[in-house]
Amino acid sequence: MELYSPEGLRLDGRRWNELRRFECHINTHPNSADGSSYVEQGNTKVVCLVQGPMEPKQSSQSNECTIEVNVNVTNFSTFERRKRGKSDRQVQELVTTLERTFDQSIMTHLYPRTLIKLDLTVLAQDGGLLGTLVNAMTLALIDAGIAMYDYISAVSAGLQDTNVLLDLNNLEEKDMSGLTVGVIGTSEKLALLMLENKMPVDRLESVLALAIVGSHRIRELMDQEVRRHGNDRLRKRNEM
Amino acid sequence: MIKEQKRLAEGLSVTSKVFVRSRNGSAMKIVREHYLRDDIPCYSLACSECLDIVKPDARGETPKFILSSKPTKCNSATNGHYLVVDTNIILHAIDLLEGDLGFYDVIIPQTVLEEVKNRSIPIYHRLRALVRKETKRFVVFHNEYSEDTYVSRLSNESINDRNDRAIRKTAKWYQKHLESKNIDIVFLCNDNDNRFKAKKENIDARSLIEYIDDLPNADELRDLVPADMTSFDELHSSDIMFPEYYSNARIMAGVKNGTVFQGILNISQHNILQGQVNVAQFKKPLLLMGSKNLNRAFNSDAVFVELLPKNQWKEFSYTIVEEDALGGENPDDENIVEPVISDKERQLLAQEAIKETAANRKDDSDKRLQPTARIVGIQRRSWRYYVGQIDPSSVDEAGNAVRDCFVILMDKQLPRIKIRTRKAAELVGQRIVVVVDQWTTTSRFPHGHFVRALGPIESPEAETEALLLEHDVEYRPFSKNVLDCLPKEGDDWKVPEDPNDPSMVGRVDLRDKLVCSIDPPSCVDIDDALHAKRLSNGNFEVGVHIADVTHFVKPGTALDAEGASRGTSVYLVDKRIDMLPMLLGTNLCSLKPYVDRFAFSVIWELDSGANIVDVKFMKSIIRSREAFSYERAQERIDDKSDNDELTNSMRILLDLSQKLKQQRVDNGALNLASPEVKVYVDSETSDPNEVEIKKPFATNSLVEEFMLLANISVARKIYEAFPQTAMLRRHASPPSTNFEELNDMLSVRKPGMAISLESSKALADSLDRCEDGNDPYFNTLLRIMSTRCMMAAEYFASGMYGRSEFRHYGLAVDIYTHFTSPIRRYCDVVAHRQLAAAIGYETLDLSHRDKGKMELIVKNINKRHRNAQFAGRASIEYYVGQVMRNNESEHEGYVIKCFNNGIVVLVPKFGVEGLIKLDTIGDVATAEFDEEKYELHFTDFSGTRRKVGVFDRVQVDVKSIKDEVSGKRKAQLLLK
C-alpha cells in the first residue's frame, strides 16, 4: 500500500499537512450532564459528558480534587464487532493518559474535595482516537464551566519513510510510527506526548513541529464553536 | 457505495466510501473517507493555469510539469497529442512503453495505476520507474482525488465499468483542459467495448495497433507488439496439447487436505523433460517426467503439484535429453491412460510417498524408485527477459512478410519460444532479447515477442550484455539522481584539514600507523588495509582498516537505493559492473596509498598465539604507506635484507595469520576447491590468449585471515547491539542426502574411502584422507565434487533464525558477517551502519532496525550475490571457449558423471566440464550402463570394447565448437 504517493497525495486524497474533516458541537446534552460535547475527526466520533464538580461518593480524606475518566468503546465502533470489557488494557491505558493530562490542565486547587467525572463514548474509530478524546474533553469541560488554564487541543502526526504526515487515519496509523501531542492553548507547551512505537531521534522534531501546528488549527476550530455557542446563549438570554 | 458529498472549504470536499465485506461468516463494515480537491495539476508545460494551483509536498518540493508543449504528431493529425493509456495496454505492452521508439507524453490515470498494481506488482514498479525517469515524460494524474474527474459508482454498475468510466472521464477532462493549447488526447485501449463508449463521448480512442499504424515509424514498432494481441492463426481449440490448470478453489482445497503440494520447479541440467520439485512434506524431491506432467511450467516457477499413482513412480532417468534433440515431436509417453483416483486415495498416496522418501530402503529393486507428480497449477511464473537466437531452420525464406519462428534460449533448461516477426531473416545470427507472453493449452510452445537485438553472436559486446541480462544484472550507467548524491568536489575531494569539521568529529586519527594494503595486481578498488605493531607487553596490535563507504552512502538517498538494488559488484573477465559509482569505488573510498582516507577500523590486541585480548572499533582517518600486490608483498617478506618497519610489520602479520589459520583448521574449517581459472586477455586486441589456474601466495591467506577475523568480531558486536536485525551470514551444514550419491560412488569406485558428515571437522579430515596414491589430482577432484554437495552460504538478519543456526559451517565459526568489502557488497554497507550505531557514532537508519525491511534487503542481496557468481562463471566459460578456439589439444580429464547415453568429463586445465554423448565416441546399440557401478560399457568405432566409470582419468581431445542451434560456443570433448 502506498501511504504517500510520489505526487504527494495520501490514501484518502489529503496532502501531507492537511487535517481530516473536523466538526465539533458543544452542549449537546444540556439536560443529562453539566457539560457535554460531540467531536468528529474524520470518521472518529466521540461524545463526552461531564459531571461535577460534585461531592465524592465515599467522602475521602484527601483535600484534592479527583478527576475520574471513563472511556466506553462501543462494540460497533470498529469495523468488526468486538466486545471490550472495562478492563481492556488499551482502554485502561487511555484512561490513565487522559487523567494525567487533565490533572495538570484543570485548576484543581479551585475545587478541593470534589469529584469531576468525565464519561467518554467512542461511537466510531478511524485512527487518532486519543487526540479526539482530548478535544472532546476540553470542549465538555469548557461547557461545564470548569476552570482550565487554556485549551488542550490534540492531534496525531507520523513519519512515513522520511515524510511527515498530519492526522493519521486508521490505515496510516497501522503502518507508520506516529505520535499524539496535546498542546496548551496557542503556546508550544505540551500537556501530552504519546509515542507508542519507535521513531528516529533526528526526525522527531519535524514530526512534533507538524503536530503542534495541527493542534493550533484544531484549537481555532474549537474556539470558533465555543464562541458561536456563547453568542447563541447570549442572544437567547437577551431575547427573553 | 458512496454516501453524501460534503463541501469543507473552497476546493476541498469529502465523501465516504462504505464497503460491506464478510470474513469468517461475520459481516464487516468499512467506512473510508475520500477527499476531493481542485489542486491537482495537469503537468503540461503548455498549460499556464495549473501552475498557480500546485502545492508543495512533505519535502517542500513542488511537482514538475513535464508533458511537452510540443508533443509528437500522428500521420493523420495536425496537432500533437498526449496519450491516456488504459490498464490492458500497460499490462501487455510495458516493454513497448519503456522503449525509446515512441510513446512519449503519456498520462496514466490513477485508476489505471491502481489496477496495474493489483494485477502485477513488477509491472507496477516498472511503470513507477518510467514516471520517475522523466525522460519519457510519463505522469500520473490522480483522477480519483480530483473534483472534476471523480465518478461515483452507480447502483447497478460493476466495478470494472465504473473504472472504465473514470478513465474515460479523465481523457475527456484533459481533452477539454488542453483544447485551447492545440494538443489532442489519444485514448489507448484494447478493450472494444470501452473504446466504443469512448468514441460515443467524442474521445479519440484507438487500439494499440491502430495507433502504431498511424505513427511515422510504424514498421519499427509493429514487431514489438506482444503476441496475444496479434492472435496466432494456428490456434485450433480442438488440439489440446496440455491439460488445463486446476481452478484456484480446487488448488486451495487440495493444499488444505494434503493432496496438492507447492514448491519450486527445478528442471534437470541434462534433461529438459525431467524436473524435480522440492516439497516441504517430503524428504526427497518429487520427480516430474514428460512434457504433459511438466504442463507448461518453466524452470524455477513456483508450481502446484499432485502425486501420480504408484504404478507410475519411476526411476530417475539417466538419459540426456536436450531441447534441440526434440525437434518437432516429443518422444513422450503420452498414451498412458490415467485412472481416475479420488482425493482419499491421493491422501493415502501422499502418506506412502512420505514413507518412501523418509525410509532408508534396503530393498534393492525399489531403491531408485521415486514418487512422481504432475503440475496442476502455477503459483508464480519466473518469466523475465530471455536472451536467445532465432533458430535458422525455422526461417525458410527471406522477405518482409510476418511469420512465426522459434527462438532458442541461451538457458538450456528452457523450451523454445515462438515469436512472430517480419524481421526474422534479418535477425538470424543475432543475439536477441525476447519476452514470453503466454502459453496456452493448445500450443506446444510458449508464445512471446521480440524486444530488441543485442548484436551479432560471438561479438564480445553482445555476449557480455546477453550474459548480464540472463543473470538479471543491472548494468546500465548510474542515473543522474544517483550521481547527484556524490560529493560535489568529485575527484578533488579531500579529507578536511580542519579537525572540527563535522565529518571529522568522532574520528580517531590513525595517520601515524604504518598501514599498507595487499591486493591482487592492478586492483583499483582497495577496500581493506592492514597494520601491525609489537606492543611493549609482548602482545601485538593489529588493525584492519576498511574503506568508510557509509560516509558517502547515506541511507535513504538514491545512491543507497541503487546500491541496495544492485547488491554487489559483478566481475566478468573483461568488465566490472560496479555496485557504486566509479568515483567512490576507485577513488574517494578506495584506500589508495600516500593520501588521507576515511576508514572504519577494527583494532585488536592479540597475544603471541594470535588469541584476541581486546578489540576496538572506530571510525578513523588513515594514510596508507604502500599498496602491494600479493606477489610484491611476498617478495618483500621473503627478502631477508629488507628490514624496514613496514616489511617487519608484514612479517608479524604473516606470522599471526598462519596461527589464525591453524586455529581455524583445528576447529574444522573446510578447504574446498572449485575449478577456478583465470583468463588473460591480450591488452591490445582484447582477445583472450591464455588460461591459468589461479595460484595462491601466502600473502593471499594473510589478508584473508585478518578479514575473517574482522568479520567475526564485527558480527559479534552488531549481534550484541541489534539482536533482531543484525546483518549476518550463515552457512548451513549440508544434509546427509546431498552426499548420498557421492558417498555411494566412492564406496563402489574407490573402496575404503568415504566422506564423513558428523561435523565440519570430520568432513575436513575425511577429505584429507581420501588420497589416491597414483593420482594427485584425485583429492582436488573430490573437493570440487563435495563443494557441489554443500549448501550455499546466505545472508540473513539475526531475527530470522535461532542462535544455534547462525553457524558458518565452511569456516567453522559460530557467527559471521561480511564487513570488509563495502565498495562491492551491500551487506557490508549495512554492517558498517550497524557497527557505527553500535559504537554510538551515529544513529541507525530505521530501515536497518526494522525486521521486515531487513528481510527484504537480505532476500535481494542473496539473489544478487548468486546471480553475480553465475554471471562471473559464465563469463569465464565463454572466454575459455574463445581461448580453446585457437589451441586445440589433448588433455587429461576426469569422468564425474555417467549416463546411459553419455558421460560428463571435467578438464582441470581449463576448469570446464563437458558432456560426451555416446554417439560421438561409439556405437550406441552396444552400450551397457551399469548403474550400480557407475560404469558405461560400449564398443568404440575401432571395434574395441571399452568401459568408463566415474572418477576415471581419461584422455580427451578438447576443441571449441559453435553450437549451430543455440549459437553458444562450448567445449567439445572427444574421448581418446
Q: Which of A39-48, A167-176, B390-399, B901-910 has the highest mean pLDDT?
A: A39-48
- Residue A224 burial (C-beta neighbours within 10 Å; 0-12, 13-18, 19+): exposed
Which of B57, B148, B848 best tests the A interface by mutation, with the highest count of A CBs <10 A? B57
Q: Do domains B248-326+340-358+366-380 and B888-975 have the same CATH topology?
A: yes
B160 vs chain A: nearest CA distance in angstroms? Answer: 20
Contact B35/A6, CB-based, under 8 Å?
A: no
Are B972 and B787 in contact by the 8 Å Cβ rule? The answer is no
Range in A94-108, B572-586, B668-682 with the lowest mean pLDDT: B668-682
Tabulate helix, strand, coil % of chain B (nearest 5).
35, 30, 40
User: What residues of A are in contact with residue B131 (Cβ under 8 Å)?
Assistant: 6
Q: Quick one: closest CA in A to B39, which residue?
A: A15
Which residues are CB-neighbours of B770 under 8 A, at least 6 positions away? B746, B750, B753, B755, B778, B779, B782
A31 vs chain B: nearest CA distance in angstroms? Answer: 30
Contact A79/B28, CB-based, under 8 Å?
A: yes
B169-212 pLDDT, tens digit per residue, is: 999 999 999 888 888 899 999 888 999 999 999 999 998 888 88
pLDDT for B422 beyond 80: no
B588-641 pLDDT, tens digit per residue, is: 888 888 889 999 999 999 998 889 999 999 999 999 998 888 888 888 888 888
What pLDDT is recorded for position B357? 59
A114 vs chain B: nearest CA distance in angstroms? Answer: 41
B627-647 pLDDT, tens digit per residue, is: 888 888 888 888 888 888 888
Type of residue numbered B299 = N
Contact A16/B145, CB-based, under 8 Å?
A: no
Question: Average of pLDDT values for B417-437?
Answer: 83
Q: Which of B34, B58, B843 sits opposite A163 (nearest CB)?
A: B58
Q: Which of A164, A171, A200 sits opposite B846 (nearest CB)?
A: A200
The candidate with the shortest Cα–Cα distance to B55, out of B75, B38, B76, B77, is B38
Question: Average of pLDDT values for B20-49?
Answer: 80
Polymer length of chain A: 240
Q: How confident is the model at residue B677 (pLDDT cuts 50, 70, 90)?
A: low
In this structure, what C-alpha cell is assigned to residue A181?
Answer: 501531542
A215 vs chain B: nearest CA distance in angstroms? Answer: 18
Range in B284-288, B333-337, B698-702, B880-884 with the lowest mean pLDDT: B333-337
Range in A224-238, B185-199, B238-252 with the lowest mean pLDDT: B238-252
B934-969 pLDDT, tens digit per residue, is: 888 887 777 777 888 888 888 887 777 766 555 566
Range in A82-86, B77-81, B814-818 with the lowest mean pLDDT: A82-86
Three-class DSSP category at B558: helix
Contact B31/A202, CB-based, under 8 Å?
A: no
B770-787 pLDDT, tens digit per residue, is: 877 777 788 888 888 888
Q: Which of B30, B58, B145 sits opposite A165 (nearest CB)?
A: B58
Contact A21/B8, CB-based, under 8 Å?
A: yes
* All structural domains of chain A: 4-239 (3.30.230.70)
Q: What is the dihedral of CA B114, B119, B121, B125, to 10 degrees?
A: -50
Paired sense of beta strands B612-629 and B508-509, if any: parallel
CA torsion sign for B236, B240, B245, B249 is positive
Q: Which of B30, B35, B63 sits opposite A13 (nearest CB)?
A: B35
Q: How confident is the model at residue B673 (pLDDT cuts 50, 70, 90)?
A: low
Q: Which of A9, A163, A169 sits opposite B145 (nearest CB)?
A: A9
Which of A1, A10, A17, A21 best tests the B interface by mutation, with the highest count of B CBs <10 A? A21
Q: How confident is the model at residue B367 (pLDDT cuts 50, 70, 90)?
A: low
User: What residues of A are in contact with residue B140 (Cβ under 8 Å)?
Assistant: 5-7
The candidate with the shortest Cα–Cα distance to B388, out of B320, B299, B457, is B457
pLDDT for B227 beyond 90: no
User: What residues of A are in contact with residue B129 (Cβ under 8 Å)?
Assistant: none
User: What residues of A are in contact with residue B55 (Cβ under 8 Å)?
Assistant: 8, 15
DSSP bridge pairs for B37 = B12, B146
Distance (Å, rounded) from C-alpha A193 to C-alpha B140? Answer: 38
In this structure, what C-alpha cell is assigned to residue B914?
Answer: 563437458
CA torsion sign for B340, B343, B349, B354 is positive
Q: Average pLDDT over chain B, rounded to whole?
A: 81
Question: Average of pLDDT values for B22-44?
Answer: 80
DSSP B312: G
Are B783 and B671 in contact by the 8 Å Cβ rule? The answer is yes
Q: How confident is the model at residue B674 (pLDDT cuts 50, 70, 90)?
A: low
Question: Average of pLDDT values for A70-84?
Answer: 82
Specify the higher pLDDT residue, B443 or A67: A67
User: What residues of B are in contact with residue A17 (Cβ under 8 Å)?
Assistant: 58
Which of B3, B5, B8 best tests the A interface by mutation, with the highest count of A CBs <10 A? B8
Range in A113-122, A210-219, B483-492 with the lowest mean pLDDT: B483-492
What pLDDT is recorded for position B740? 81
Contact A43/B33, CB-based, under 8 Å?
A: yes
Complex confidence, ipTM? 0.90
pLDDT for B233 beyond 50: no
**How would DSSP label each residue in B858-918?**
HHHHHHHHHHHHHHHHHHHHHHHHHHHHH--EEEEEEEEEEETTEEEEEETTTTEEEEEEH
Contact B59/A14, CB-based, under 8 Å?
A: no
Q: How confident is the model at residue B679 (pLDDT cuts 50, 70, 90)?
A: low
What pLDDT is recorded for position A140? 96
Distance (Å, rounded) from C-alpha B958 to C-alpha B972? Answer: 6
pLDDT for A49 beyond 60: yes
Contact A126/B132, CB-based, under 8 Å?
A: no
The candidate with the shortest Cα–Cα distance to B416, out of B399, B430, B434, B429, is B434
What pLDDT is recorded for position B784? 82
B49-71 pLDDT, tens digit per residue, is: 888 888 888 888 888 888 888 88
What pLDDT is recorded for position B334? 39
CA angle B814, B820, B822 (to 5 degrees): 125
| Phi, psi values for residue B157, rounded to 5° | -105, 135
B705-742 pLDDT, tens digit per residue, is: 899 999 999 999 999 999 889 999 998 888 877 788 88
pLDDT for B139 beyond 50: yes
What pLDDT is recorded for position B360? 47
B489 vs chain A: nearest CA distance in angstroms? Answer: 27
User: What residues of B are in contact with residue A4 (Cβ under 8 Å)?
Assistant: 58
Range in B56-60, B409-413, B915-919 with the lowest mean pLDDT: B915-919
A134-155 pLDDT, tens digit per residue, is: 999 999 999 999 999 999 999 9
User: What residues of B are in contact with residue A7 (Cβ under 8 Å)?
Assistant: 57, 63, 140, 142
Q: How confident is the model at residue A106 (pLDDT cuts 50, 70, 90)?
A: very high
Specify the higher pLDDT residue, B20 or B721: B721
B141 vs chain A: nearest CA distance in angstroms? Answer: 9
Q: Quick one: closest CA in A to B6, which residue?
A: A21
Choose which CATH entry (2.40.50.140, 1.20.120.450, 3.40.50.970, 2.60.120.890) describes domain B888-975. Answer: 2.40.50.140
Q: Where are the beta strands (DSSP E) in B457-551?
A: 508-509, 515-519, 528-534, 540-547
User: What residues of A are in contact with residue B142 (Cβ under 8 Å)?
Assistant: 5, 7, 9, 13
**Cα distances (angstroms) measured from residue B216 to each of B72, B77, B213, B809:** 10, 12, 8, 62
What pLDDT is recorded for position A111? 92
A8 vs chain B: nearest CA distance in angstroms? Answer: 5
What are the structural domain ranges in chain B?
75-225, 248-326+340-358+366-380, 385-457, 480-726+812-869, 888-975
pLDDT for A130 beyond 90: yes
User: What residues of B are in contact with residue A43 (Cβ under 8 Å)?
Assistant: 16, 31-33
Q: Which of A134-143, B33-42, B129-138, B170-179 has the highest mean pLDDT?
A: A134-143
DSSP bridge pairs for B408 = B389
Residue A53, preceding peptide bond in cis (omega within 30° of 0) = yes
> B558-566 and B851-886 helices cross at what angle (nearest 10)?
60
The candidate with the shortest Cα–Cα distance to A8, out of B274, B689, B110, B661, is B110
pTM of the entire predicted model: 0.65
Type of residue numbered B491 = D
Write out the CATH class of domain B248-326+340-358+366-380.
Answer: mainly beta
Distance (Å, rounded) from C-alpha A92 to C-alpha A98? Answer: 10
Contact A42/B33, CB-based, under 8 Å?
A: yes
B469 vs chain A: nearest CA distance in angstroms? Answer: 29
What pLDDT is recorded for position B399? 59
Classify domain B75-225 by CATH number. 3.40.50.1010
Classify domain B385-457 by CATH number. 2.40.50.700
B6-18 pLDDT, tens digit per residue, is: 666 666 677 776 6
In this structure, what C-alpha cell is assigned to residue B277?
Answer: 520439485
